[in-house]
Each structure stands twice: as structure tokens, then as C-alpha cells.
Amino acid sequence: MRFIFPHSHAFNGGQLTVEDDGASGSSCLVAFGDGTTIVGELAGAAHDGYRIEVPAYRTARGNAVSARTWHIVRHATESVWRSMRAG
């Protein structure tokens, strides 16, 4: 799986692209709009989305971003994927 965020970080309600490459396993690629790509963990999948764990990283400008867990969902009323911060 590949999760592509158009910004340098994920945020609540942010739009993203989800690409299913058909590979098995729990690792996933998380790419950001500033060119940073990291390996995350696919922590769960359901009919309405995914749960991913994104480790701490630095943006291309060197800003530190803390590790976070995100729900990636597609609401019935929208055709886009959105990130929602998990508890």
C-alpha cells in the first residue's frame, strides 16, 4: 500500500491518495508532498478504510513531526480519502 499526502504532513480531514499495489505484509509507504517518503505500518484494514502508524520523521525543511496513528477513511458522501487522527 502507498498513502500519498499532498502536504509535508498529515492532518485531520486532510485529503490523500491511496494506492493498492497488491503487495502483502504490514509495511506501507507514506509519501508527502515535500518529497519525503517513509515506511509506515498498516495496522488494520476495513471495508471503509485503513489504520496506519506513521513513525516520527523530519520534513524536507527539517521540521520534526511526531509519530502518529491515522484512520484513513472514505465517507459514503465523498469519493476522496481523508485522514483522521486516531485517539
Arithmetic mean of pLDDT, 32-59 = 93
For residue 48, what pLDDT band results from cuts at 50, 70 and 90? confident
Q: Per-residue pLDDT for 23 more than 80?
A: no
Q: Per-residue pLDDT for 22 more than 90?
A: no
Say how many Å lie between the first and final Cα of the chain, rounded.
Answer: 23
Q: What is the pTM of this model?
A: 0.90
Place of cell 509507504: 29
**pLDDT at residue 42, rounded to an integer:** 94
Would you list the domain boundaries of the chain? 2-85
Cβ-in-10-Å burial (0-12, 13-18, 19+) of 83 comes to buried
CB 19 within 8 A of CB 4: yes
